[in-house]
Structures are given as C-alpha cells and as structure tokens.
Amino acid sequence: MSLRDFKIPKFKFKKMKMNLEELEKIDYEKLEKKDHKKRTTPYEDKTNYKTVKEFFTRAVEKYPNESCILEKPNHKEPYKVTTYREFGEDVMALGTALTKKINLKDKRVIIIGETQYGWYVSYMAMLCGVGIAVPTDRELPLNELENIVRRAKASAIIYSPRKADDIKKIKEKVSDVEYFIEMKSDKQIEGKDVGLEYLIEEGKRIISQGDKSFEKIEIDPEEFKILFFTSGTTSNSKGVMLNNRNLAENINAVTAYVKLYPTDRLFSVLPLHHCYESTIGFLYPMSQGASIAICEGLRYIVPNLQESHPTAILTVPLLVESLYKKINEKIVKSKKDKMVSAMITVTNLLKNAGIDIKRKVFKEIYENLGGNLRIIVSAAAPIEKSVGEWLENIGILFLQGYGLTETAPISALTPDYAMNVGSCGKPIVQAEVKIKDPNENGEGEVLIKTPTLMIGYYEDEEETKKVIDEEGFFHSGDIGYIDDNGFIYLTGRSKNVIVTQNGKNIYPEEIEGLLNKVDEVKESLIYGKKPEAGSKRDDKELIITARVLPDYDKIKEIHGDISEEEVKKIIWQKIKEVNKQLTSYKAIKDMEIKEGEFEKTSTMKIKRYKELNK
C-alpha cells in the first residue's frame, strides 16, 4: 500500500445512538479532578540511544512476553500475535543466516513488498549488523525497480510473494544480484533463490551450535546503513544516506514530546518503505515496548481497527479527513449532530475545570475506531484545521509532524502536552531551526540543523553541498515562519515539488526530462493545477498538467503539414506513452499548448514562477 494509492473505500460505521441516559447517572462531584495546568517543557526522561540495536535488544530483554507484531494470516482468521522474544529470536536468526550462510555481511539489500512480518524482521536484521538496507517502493514500474537495483548496487533482494512475478522479470537483467529471498517461503537455496523462513530456521540452527557472532556485532552509529530513494523513480531521484544515529536520535526526539507506553498499540496503515512509517511507525513503538497491528488493506481499515483495538494511528491527512467525514455523516443521518455539538461544548468546559469525561460521552465514536484510540499523528501534507480541532474536541490527541527523508524524518512535532492545530509542531529538542531571510510576515525558507540529518545524497556530493551549508543547516525548500511560542507554520514551497493531497512528492523536472525527449516536444513545464470550480474532480487534489511548447519544425518533418488540432492529438498520444514510464500518481492528466517561447533566466532555465503566474 502506497501513500499515493489512498483510494479511500466506503467506510461502514454503526448508527450513532448517542444515548445520554448513562451520562445522567454520573456523579460529577465524585469524579477525580485533574490539575489542568499544562506542561510547557519537554519530558525529562527522554531516551538517549545511540543505535537501533541498542533499543531493540533492550526491548526484547525488558518485554519478552509482551505483544510485538500482530498480523492476520488471512482475512477470516484472527490476528496472530508475535511476542518480543519471538521477534528478537527471528531477527537474530535471520541476521546470522544472512551473514554466515549466504555471506551478505556489509552488502546492500533491497527490501520490497507490502507491510508484513517478514518486512519488519528483514529491516531490523539489516539495522542490527548485516549491511545496508534499501527499503523500496513496491509500486515501482519494472524499469524503475531495475534502475534502483542497479543504482543501489544491491547484492540481494528480499521480496514479498506478491512481487514474485516482477522479480522473475528483472532477474536476468540484474546479474550482480547474488540472492533473491522470498518472504513467507521455506524454499532451500536453489541457485540464487531462497526462502526467508528457511534462512531464519538455518540461523537458529547455527546459533544453537554456539555461533553468536551476529549478536556480538557492534554498530558504528555513524556508518552508512540505510539508503532511501526520495521518490524511487528514474536516475534523477535522490538517494538519501542515513546511519543508525539518525534513526536513534529520531526516537530520542519523539520521547521528549510524546508519551508512549508498553500498553499502547500502533495501527500500521502506511507503507513501510517510507522513512516516516518505518521510523516512527515501527522503530519508535518498538523502543517503548508497544505493539504494532498491521492493517490488511484500505478496505479493511474499519474491521481491522475494531479487531486490533489500537491506541494510536500514524497516517496522512487524506485518511484522517475521510474518517472524519464518514463519522460525521453517520452522526447527521442519526440526527444527533446538534446533540454532539452541545456535548462538545459541555465536555470542553468540564475539561477546563479538570474533569475529563470525553471518552464516556463519545464512547460510540471511539467504538467505531476500535475503542481505545487516544492518538492520531498526521504528517506529509497539510490538513484541514477543523478536522484536527474536532478530534481534540472528542478527546483524541491530534499531533502533527514535519520532516523529510533527509531528516530521517522528524524535524518538528506537536508535543502531546501542547497541542496546536494548524502548526506542524515545535522543532525537536536536538534541532535548531531558523528562517532564512524572513519577509515582513516573518516568512522565509526553513533551515534545519539536527543530528537526524542525513549523511548526504548517495553518490552526489554536489547536490549535498547545495542543500547543506557550511554551518550544517539543511535548506529544506519549505517556506514558513516560527511563532513566539516556537511553533513552526508552513506556508508554501520554495522548491518546485508538487505535493499531492495524500503527501506524495512529485518532482516536475523528472517528468519534464522524459517529456522533453519526445521528438515533437521542444520544451515543457509540469505543474499542479487547481481544478476549476464546480468540476467533478476533488477540489483539493492538484491536476498534474503539462504545458508544452511543440517543436513545429520536427513535427513538420515527421508528420508533414498538419492542423493545430492534430498537433494536440499527437502530443497527447506521446504524453500517454510517457505516462507508462511513470508511477500512477505522477501521470500527466492534462495538457496545455504553450504559445511562444518560455521566459528564461540568463542560464536558460525556465522562470517557473513567472510562467505559472501568467
């Protein structure tokens, strides 16, 4: 499941009765009154980990019999629970087999597939001492996947059964790959093929004979250990190099702002190849002894929520907004909207007086979301302020985060003791964030200096120097300001990145590079266009549009004298062919024919800002 493919299904929620009879029985005088004075400083007991292996081994030792990963074998069966002890044993066994049985020590290994137990085990084994992990988007077209394998210089690919056909198609083209390891398979080594389950069992056998070499591997916090490709596409995509310290400092940062307990359970709905989910949705809860329940897929969100009873969800605005709309539609259909509004007012007044009865009042809403939900974290794109405020009004902590793959990813986060809907949070405690050349409104480019910052771009020192200045500040390309209380507000982008509603980044230059190779196209400019008022399109989702300057000389040479209408048809057909080389969310949906040359700088670059404001 990818962020770009959030085609939200029809959620089915129960009818909202919102019966107040039980509430009338509450003896408010006997309710415990809590001090509602707000904390203003970070938690003093934040962690200080140096590596992932450090908190992983601690969690396994401290919470051996607690639930770690919950996964459904199939839709009809209940969640299967794997404890911390079992997970720890599998990680150590896999790491042992990868290093001792098939000699992948210090080599690069791609992990690709939908979220499942094998993905977690593989990633953790890599971080604990195997080599360099390369989490890869399972939705990549074959040409892009092949490109990533080559660029990463991968020695092995660990893949899910659903990717078996794709792996088979590229196998002969990527001859340097030594092993193709299939999750959920116990296949013994046959040439380059082997099953992940077989390797885990082999690792256990090797350990039982007294070999604890993998367990004893010491991790250098500064060593290059993870490679994320920012958009996972053509040769123009950037590879972000991270180390163990980057990930460990993310965990330390979050523990200063948000309290998570061993009794908490995160609901994993985002794809794990994103740094956001693999770090904050996996490594963070594991560091705290919490559990993770895997969502089967978007159409199963509601039944999975109601079965797994999570306390926290890490997600993107599109999903939060969809849940909000569906729940409120049920409330309106039940003719309880005025009652709910009144109850929000009353419970807010009581909470301000130190009496919080929101979970009792809005019990039915909570039951639709599994019953135990207390935190929703939204990141990757802006969200409607009213949605966050409504969640707070019914008693759910609504937190927002900000960061990039380059910052592994968290740079800022809403503290759970100082919620502020509309802001993307405060800079993490280890970071220094400043605004470059602020205008009269205090707005400018957001610069970040943080121990979570990447080592640099993979095999691209020039690009690294462009974004990290001599003082160590990362130039994010985002425009924003910081208020008097230290909260960051983003107001725009200085880079050309197009951000979809569900948080995926589209780099126009990448698509332009492909389109400009078309004989009939002289130049092009890709941008996200707002739908016209009253159109059937989602009024929030931008339409990926190509503004094209035809090469009329070439067109005449190839097609002869043709009409302007025929020119449009030919170029649109060529655009369709370009779209086949792109992942679906990047596909060009509309076209404009440019009249006259593009306005350019002295270095012959299109003045994008001026062109888009014409």
The structure tokens 């499942």 sit at 116
Whether residue 314 has pLDDT greater than 50? yes
CA distances from 83 to 71, 207, 417, 439 (A): 12, 20, 31, 53
The CATH T-level fold of domain 507-612 is: GMP Synthetase; Chain A, domain 3 (3.30.300)
Selected residue with higher pLDDT from 368 and 606: 368
Per residue, the 3-state secondary structure of 121-174, as one string, reads HHHHHHHHHHCEEEEECCCCCHHHHHHHHHHHCCCEEEECHHHHHHHHHHHHHC
pLDDT tens string 497-535? 787 777 776 778 778 888 988 999 998 999 998 887 666
**Residue 309 DSSP SS3:** coil
Instruction: Count helices and strands (H / E) in the chain.
Output: 21, 26
pLDDT tens by residue, 271-295: 999 999 999 999 999 999 999 999 9
pTM summary value? 0.82
On the CB side of 215, how many CA atoms lie within 13 Å of its CA?
16
CA separation for the pair 550, 1 (Å, rounded): 37
pLDDT digits (tens, 9 = 90+) for 557-578: 899 999 999 999 999 999 999 9
Query: What is the rounded distance in angstroms from the CA atom of residue 124 to the CA atom of residue 95?
Result: 9
Q: Is the pLDDT of residue 231 over 80?
A: no
Cis bond upstream, residue 409 (ω within 30): yes
Range with the lowest mean pLDDT among 18-27, 85-94, 266-275? 18-27
| Backbone dihedral angles phi then psi of residue 218, each to the nearest 5 degrees | -95, 135
Q: Which residue has the higher pLDDT, 601 or 479?
A: 479
pLDDT per position as a tens digit, 342-360: 999 999 998 888 888 999 8
pLDDT value at 474 more than 50:
yes
Name beta bridge partners: 561: none
State the CB neighbour count (10 A cutoff) for residue 165: 9
Q: Any idea which fold 84-218 has?
A: Rossmann fold (3.40.50)
For residue 204, the model assigns a pLDDT of: 98
Q: Which helix (H) or strand (E) holds 454?
A: none
State both tokens at 6: 């959030």
Which pLDDT tens digit goes with each residue over 174-209? Answer: 999 999 999 999 999 999 999 999 999 999 999 999
What percentage of the chain has pLDDT greater than the value 70? Answer: 89
Tally of CB atoms within 10 A around 276: 25
DSSP 472-531: S-EEEEEEEEE-TTS-EEEEEESS--EE-TTS-EE-HHHHHHHHTTSTTEEEEEEEEEPP
Same fold, 84-218 and 507-612: no
* Per-residue pLDDT tens digits for 75-129: 999 999 999 999 999 999 999 999 999 999 999 999 999 999 999 999 999 999 9
Residue 211 three-state SS? coil
* pLDDT attached to residue 83: 98
Q: Where are the alpha helices (DSSP H) in 258-336?
A: 275-278, 284-287, 301-308, 317-333
Query: Which CATH code of 1.10.3470.10, 3.30.420.40, 3.40.50.970, 3.40.50.12780 fits the domain covering 3-38+271-493?
Result: 3.40.50.12780
* Token pair listed for 313: 């969800």
- Please tell me the predicted confidence (pLDDT) of residue 513: 82
pLDDT at 601 over 60: no
Give the domain ranges of the chain.
3-38+271-493, 84-218, 507-612
Q: How far apart are CA 426 and CA 436, in angstroms?
A: 17
Give the pLDDT mean for 10-26: 66
Do 399 and 379 meet the contact criterion of CB atoms below 8 Å apart? no
The neighbouring-strand residues paired with 80 are 71
In sequence order, what are the residues at sequence separation of 6 or more whose Cβ sits closer than 8 angstroms to the Cβ of residue 392?
398, 419, 421
- Note the helical H segments in 50-125: 52-62, 84-96, 117-125
Dihedral pair phi/psi, residue 300, rounded to 5°: -105, 10
Q: How far apart are CA 582 and CA 155, in angstroms?
A: 26
Which residues lie across from 315 on neighbouring strands? 378
Structure confidence at residue 233 (pLDDT) = 32
The answer on pLDDT for 7 being more than 60 is no
Q: Helix 564-579 to helix 552-559 angle, to the nearest 10 degrees?
A: 90
Q: Report the alpha-carbon distance of residue 391 to residue 312 in Å, rounded.
A: 13
